[in-house]
Amino acid sequence: MADKQISLPAKLINGGIAGLIGVTCVFPIDLAKTRLQNQQNGQRMYTSMSDCLIKTIRSEGYFGMYRGAAVNLTLVTPEKAIKLAANDFFRHQLSKDGQKLTLLKEMLAGCGAGTCQVIVTTPMEMLKIQLQDAGRIAIPLSPAAQRKILTAQGQLSAQGGAQPSVEAPAAPRPTATQLTRDLLQSRGIAGLYKGLGATLLRDVPFSVVYFPLFANLNQLGRPASEEKSPFYVSFLAGCVAGSAAAVAVNPCDVVKTRLQSLQRGVNEDTYSGILDCARKILRHEGPSAFLKGAYCRALVIAPLFGIAQVVYFLGIAESLLGLLQDPQA
């Protein structure tokens, strides 16, 4: 394996194909994850993933579940390609001495991959979150939230206790192009990279956990007589490693999602940075808030990385590029 030439274009293509297939399959769950993570106490509009998806279909139609998908489909190709290719590159460099990679070296390779991918991940997540969360802001508030708002405004007592209907302010639903233009005009390139620190805090530990865990699970399921694990072993290893890493870093994902959300509902907290966000979440919503959307994220990441590893290890791009024509390669 060490002698086999690494084809960077093939690895980039494999990562891109995997990302496109995976995102198309799991994007509605990712939308539910974003909306569940962003809702704060007193502003609860959804009780679960299924409740979120049902309400989204009712208020925004079936394609409302794919709000922001175009951004992901456009940028997930370079994002997944960089992540998978960078990990492979670092693993190759760290094993040049001919010895088997130690766990520490596997973690270092994952750390390098996670650091490289944020170049694309941060602006992709920034735009995607604004588009995904727009529907949450525009949906009518719960009765408890309405009472809280009306009491603060003094309207409830003025109307003899009668409760008029209150809706969240109708949020404009701009396109990704409009969002990009507005952010660049108002904040420059830094606007697209808002939440960079939180993205690093999520993606570097994710890769440190994911890649070594996947490599060892994949190796564990490989028959002794085979050079490569069967595709179903790679798929299951990707699913297990992906979901485990996703749940492990979910608190960082909640903080990142909150920091990157530009639109806020009535009486929702605003945050000045990572520590301020973590403190306010802990104080106002309790420790359990850091696990919001964890099962959604696991459901997103498991098939996403399972599919990615199958595509990647089957070498679809190598076949397309004719790199496997030589049986001695």
Write a three-state SS string for 36-104.
Answer: HHHCCCCCCCCCCHHHHHHHHHHHHCHHHHHCCHHHHHHHHHHHHHHHHHHHHHHHHHHCCCCCCCCHH
Q: What is the predicted pLDDT for the residue at 254?
A: 95
Q: Is 171 helix (H, G, I), strand (E, B) or coil?
A: coil
**Which residues, 6+ apart, have CB-to-CB distance to 300 below 8 Å?**
26, 29, 30, 33, 246
- 231-248 vs 250-260: helix axis angle to the nearest 10? 70
Q: Are 26 and 49 within 8 A, CB to CB? A: no
Per-residue pLDDT of the chain (329 residues; tens, 9 = 90+): 344 455 667 777 877 788 788 888 889 999 999 999 988 866 678 888 999 999 999 988 888 888 888 888 888 778 877 887 888 889 988 887 777 889 899 999 999 999 999 999 999 999 999 888 877 765 554 555 555 544 554 554 455 555 444 444 444 567 888 888 988 998 899 889 999 999 999 999 999 999 999 999 998 988 888 878 888 898 999 999 999 999 999 999 999 999 998 877 677 888 989 999 999 999 999 999 999 999 999 998 998 888 877 887 777 777 777 754 454 44
Handedness of CA 49, 54, 55, 56 (dihedral sign): positive
Residue 293, both tokens: 């959307």
Q: What is the predicted pLDDT for the residue at 43?
A: 67
Q: What is the predicted pLDDT for the residue at 214?
A: 92
Q: What is the predicted pLDDT for the residue at 259?
A: 93
Q: What is the predicted pLDDT for the residue at 179?
A: 87
Q: What is the predicted pLDDT for the residue at 202?
A: 94
8-157+195-320 — its CATH code? 1.50.40.10
Q: What is the predicted pLDDT for the residue at 126?
A: 92
Q: What is the predicted pLDDT for the residue at 197?
A: 93
pTM of the model: 0.77
Provide φ and ψ at 172, rounded to 5°: -65, 150
Q: What is the predicted pLDDT for the residue at 42?
A: 62
Q: What is the predicted pLDDT for the residue at 176?
A: 82
**Cβ neighbours, 10 Å, residue 47:** 11
Ranges of each domain in the chain: 8-157+195-320
Provide φ and ψ at 326, rounded to 5°: -85, 115
**Cα 105 from chain centroid (whole Å):** 25
